Chain A
Amino acid sequence: MKLKGGIYWGAGCGGCDVAVLDIHEKILDVAEKMDFLFWPIAMDFKNDDVRAMEDGEFDLVLYSGAVRNSENEEIAKLLRRKSKTMVALGTCAHIGGLPSLANYHTKQSILERVYSETESTVNPEGTMPLERSTVDGNELELPRFYNTVKTLDQVVDVDYYIPGCPPVPQQIVNALTAVFNGELPPKGSVIGAGTKTLCDECPREREEKEISEIKRPLNMIPDPEKCLLEQGLICLGPVTREGCGARCINSGAPCRGCYGPLEGVHDQGIRMISALASVIEPKEEKEIDAVLDGIVDPLRTFHRFSTAASILRRKKI
């Protein structure tokens, strides 16, 4: 019998859905094994279609995007109830992703920025979104915008994780093949990625790491053969899981950490403090500070994709 599958997007950009389509003709093999009963970005489905299903009727649900509002959470819980296996697809569902950078602000400051402060905002009446409003006698509801962005596993039980922003299409194929063949690792595992650091699959040459100046890609043309970190660029390779095929590195850009932390590491960004500070060259406080001054916004650079999954999770209010 054919399997039943669903794909949903919470607070994401749709890039993960595109990555699923980027498996190209292999999508036909997938469609042969599995019917999609729910995939709002690709076809017309209603949430009520899912509500009408039996509990556990989905064999597989891929949930991409973070949990940013009450609708994301509601659908996450609904899909969890209706599925046998639930997979967090992509960085946002896995560790919060870019949307969770909002956790360094508050709901209030974000709404003020967007609806009154930005240079392009024209809002003389000070209109703000309301959770409930009446238009032509009809009552309309909006989901609640949360103060704190959450990872999928902070609101529901997650069976597997496929990291990446977006996940490499071949890794999605590998993960789906594992599901179809029933060759899944223990619950809670990361599938569709390796177990070592990105440095292990990085093709660049490594020598001694001794950084005496932090540089930015906009100010230099990096040597195409040598380790980017050794050249003074902030590369999150040492604290990031392998599996992407070093796609950014091969294009001359340092790793930003989208594949998330390694097994057993709770906080990828904090781990980067450890890794980077170890290879900075000076030993005197003043000279150390001079090197560190070169890191623009260390907190968000190190936690670019993982704020929601970090130890403190958000800025203290």
Chain B
Amino acid sequence: MTFEPKIVGFLCNWCSYTGADLAGTARIKYAPNIRSIRVMCSGRIEPTFIMKALYEGADGVLIAGCHPGDCHYQEGNYKALRRHRLLKRILHEYGVEPERVRLEWVAASEGERFAKIVDEFTDQIRELGPLGIKDSLAEAMKDDIDPHEADKEESGVANEA
């Protein structure tokens, strides 16, 4: 079976979600791998959301906001940019490819651009393969058990205790 990436998209209400909407009304085809979540501003997207998404099974996360200078709340997209720059630095140390979290500016009029970004990003994640955080965690902990437990049960020590 071919691997279909799961991508979570956090889209700002004022530009990027509207841009995604435009892609829909203009009937532009793009990869169905993205699950879009509308937020009021890219500045509302906490790194916690991204880490939770990755932990819960997302293979990639797309954050999209208004172009610099266009934020509905003046500065939100700059905060998103700074958080993204900092988050990428730590992802690498977790053993997670930083490319799995992507930040893009998509204006309300850029339906076509949105579709192109989603297609590109999906291809990129498909190439990287599944992230599988939960499987990796289970694998890392599978031998974290008491090696003497079995003997104790045999000798009845554990039962007495």
Q: Do A and B come from one complex?
A: yes
Q: Assuming A270-B47, A288-B81, what are 14 further A-B pairs, CB within 8 angstroms?
A: A70-B149, A144-B146, A150-B144, A270-B48, A273-B86, A274-B48, A277-B83, A278-B83, A292-B86, A299-B94, A312-B51, A312-B55, A316-B96, A317-B136
List 9 A-B pairs, Cβ < 8 Å.
A146-B141, A274-B46, A277-B85, A292-B89, A298-B89, A311-B48, A312-B51, A312-B96, A316-B133
Q: In the assembly, what is the distance between CA of A311 and CA of B90, in Å?
A: 13
Contacts of A141 in B (CB 8 A): 148
The size bracket of the interface on A is 35 or more
List A contacts of B55 (CB < 8 A): 311-312
Complexed CA–CA distance, A315 and B160 (Å): 39
Q: Is residue B139 within 8 Å, beta carbon to beta carbon, of the partner chain?
A: yes
Cβ distance A49 to chain B, nearest Cβ, rounded Å: 12
> In the bound complex, do residue A78 and residue B52 qualify as a contact, i.e. CB atoms below 8 Å apart?
no
Q: Chain B: how many interface residues by the 8 Å CB criterion?
A: 37
Q: Lowest 9 CB-CB distances: which A-B pairs, in order? A: A316-B95, A277-B82, A70-B146, A277-B83, A299-B90, A146-B144, A51-B161, A311-B51, A299-B93
Q: Does A274 lie within 8 Å of B145, measured CB to CB?
A: no
Query: What mask results when residues 272 to 303 of chain A are scored 1 for a CB within 8 Å of chain B, else 0?
Result: 01101110100101001100100100110010
Q: Measured between C-beta atoms, what is the minimum distance from B87 to chain A in Å?
A: 6
A216 at the interface (CB under 8 A from B): no
Q: Which residues of A contact B48 (CB under 8 A)?
A: 265-267, 270-271, 274, 311
Residue in B closest to A311 when the chains form the complex, CB atoms:
B51
Asked if A280 and B82 sit within 8 Å, CB to CB, the answer is yes
Q: Decide if A73 is an interface residue (CB 8 Å cutoff).
A: yes
Q: Is A94 an interface residue (CB 8 A)?
A: no
Chain A residues, CB < 8 A from B136: 316-317
Q: Are B82 and A144 in contact (CB under 8 A)?
A: no
Q: Which residues of A contact B (CB under 8 A)?
A: 51, 70, 73-74, 78, 104, 106, 131-132, 141, 143-144, 146-148, 150, 265-267, 270-271, 273-274, 276-278, 280, 283, 285, 288-289, 292, 295, 298-299, 302, 311-317
Shortest CB-to-CB span from A65 to chain B, Å, is: 16
Complex formed: what's the CA distance from A43 to B98 in Å? 51
Q: A148 to B90, Cβ gap below 8 A?
A: no
Contacts of B133 in A (CB 8 A): 312, 316
Would B68 and A283 count as touching, CB distance under 8 A? yes
Chain A residues contacting B95 (CB-CB under 8 Å) are: 315-317
Which chain A residue lies CB-closest to B91?
A299
Expressed in whole angstroms, the Cα–Cα distance for A141 and B148 within the complex equals 8
**Contact present for A313 and B137 (CB under 8 Å):** yes
The one of B78, B79, B81, B146 that contacts A143, using a Cβ cutoff of 8 Å: B146
> Shortest CB–CB separation between residue A165 and chain B, in angstroms?
22
- Answer whether residue B147 sits at the interface, using C-beta atoms and an 8 A cutoff: yes
Chain B CB within 10 Å, residue with most, of A70, A271, A295, A311: A311
Chain A residues contacting B78 (CB-CB under 8 Å) are 283
B112-138 residues at the A interface, CB under 8 angstroms: 133, 136-137
Minimum C-beta distance from B93 to chain A (A): 4
Q: Which residues of B are found within 8 Å of A144, using beta-carbon distances?
A: 143-147
Taking CB as reference atom, which chain B residue is nearest A315?
Answer: B95
B106 within 8 A of A: no
B90 proximity list for chain A (CB < 8 A): 273, 298-299, 302
Are B145 and A70 in contact, with the CB atoms below 8 A? yes
What B residues does A148 contact at CB under 8 A?
137, 140-141, 144
Residues of A within 8 A of B82 (CB): 277-278, 280, 288
